[in-house]
Amino acid sequence: MQQFTDENGHVHTVSTLTGEIKALLESGFDWVSVRGEVSQPQTSRNGHLYFTLKDTGAQLSCVMWNSMRQQLDRVPAHGDEVVVSGSVQVYAPHGRYQLIARSVRAAGLGALQQAFEELKRKLEAEGLFDAGRKKPLPPFPRVIGIVTSATGAAFQDMRNTLEKRYPLSEVHLYHAAVQGAQAAPEIVGGIRHFSESGNADLLIVGRGGGSLEDLWAFNEESVARAIADCRIPVISAVGHETDFSISDFVADARAATPTQAIVMAVPDRNDLLMRIGDLQYTIERRLSELLKRHKDTVSRFLDNYALHKVKQRISRQMEMLSWQEKQMAGILQQRIMRYRDQNRHLGDSIAAVSVRHLIQQRSQLSDLHHRLLASDPNAPLKKGYTRIQQNGQWVRSAGRFEAENPFEIEWADRRTRVDRPGA
């Protein structure tokens, strides 16, 4: 049998070489964290978890003993991106090494998705998603509360949609950050404000679209529980149509976008006008059918030979029926006039709201213009006063003036430098 020796002539056995490799690897990698994709996880009869951790260039066999596996909140599934921490062990009988896993956690976006799924399961088990606990939306909300960023496009879209669709509703905004570390506490504060104050009939909580990280504030447990405890109906309007958040499941209604939240919250004034017109037409048609039915009934009785003897009585009944017809026609006319007056009143109210909003905007613009003029630091110069500057600063009192140093005298139209004050 051919033997291979090192330069000193020493010959290794398989066991000794493997033992040296084992000692070298296990001492050098007694604790290591490795990131990769889980492949083919299997749990043995005795509860041990076996899986392969791989990436595009290599793969690593891993095992997690039953005692450690029982501490996992969730057993990793095939395809999960995870970070596995543990120690390297060489299994001499098979001449291979493996990673003894002591902890497994989701990596990157997978961690957020895992947290999302865990919280979703938890709140669903508590019954926070049940349809029976959801409050109905008011058909004609007088005041709508909105919790979102005042500077975001979502609020502007909601306000513009409301003005076009149903301007009779007022909007009360509670400004809150919608992403970042402070977002969740501020959103919770806004929800509790409207819930406790009672100054709104309906609440919309949301923001525009973004990544899972951007929308994460609406996946926080504190936000979900604040929505669940809110005393008024809540519409969750987070992200785009394909985005889902925990707040969507807890809220009384979920809107695919902030704009759709307004569509869900209020009726369309054009639809209301059409509905009023339909009701008016229905009343007129039904009354006409009722009158025709009575006339047909009377005509059939009159054609009966046996009733000819009571023509006088029928004549009196016809006169009474004619009087009732006039009465009903008068009532119908009054109702029609009342509905027309209501229609005109609705149109006048909408126009008044628009004019009042325009006057408020103009007044605010005028006030800002006057405040800007009043805060002009050069206004005194334009009135003939002067200003002394020394060392690049405005000298506001005699105590700060240094008589031995150069200074500048400033008028509205020029500056003059005095280099030798004492000369």
State the Cα–Cα distance between residues 107 and 118, nearest whole angstrom: 15
State the Cα–Cα distance between residues 373 and 231, nearest whole angstrom: 46
**Domain match, 359 and 403 both:** no
Q: What is the pLDDT of residue 1?
A: 38
Compute φ and ψ for 2, nearest 5 degrees: -75, 135
**Domain match, 33 and 81 both:** yes
User: Residue 246 in contact with residue 223, Cβ under 8 Å?
Assistant: yes
**Domain match, 151 and 194 both:** yes
Can you name the residues that pair with 91 across neighbouring β-strands?
A: 96
User: Residue 230 in contact with residue 222, Cβ under 8 Å?
Assistant: no
Task: Single out the residue of 22, 4, 37, 20 nearest to residue 96, CA to CA.
Answer: 22
Low-confidence residues of the chain, pLDDT below 70?
1-9, 108-111, 301-310, 374, 420-423
Q: What is the pLDDT of residue 199?
A: 92
Q: What is the pLDDT of residue 259?
A: 93
Strand 96-106 vs strand 59-64: parallel, antiparallel, or unpaired? parallel
Report residue 183 as tokens.
Answer: 């977002």
**Domain match, 176 and 296 both:** no
**Domain match, 160 and 257 both:** yes
State the Cα–Cα distance between residues 144 and 189, nearest whole angstrom: 17
**Domain match, 44 and 74 both:** yes
Q: What is the pLDDT of residue 9?
A: 65
User: Residue 82 in contact with residue 76, Cβ under 8 Å?
Assistant: yes
**Domain match, 51 and 153 both:** no
Q: How many structural domains does the chain have? A: 4
Q: What is the pLDDT of residue 3?
A: 46
Within a domain: 6: no
**Domain match, 253 and 296 both:** no
| Percentage of residues in the chain having pLDDT higher than 70 | 93
Domain that holds residue 245: 113-265
Task: Single out the residue of 149, 250, 153, 147 nearest to residue 202, CA to CA.
Answer: 147
CATH code: domain of residue 76: 2.40.50.140
Q: What is the pLDDT of residue 2?
A: 42
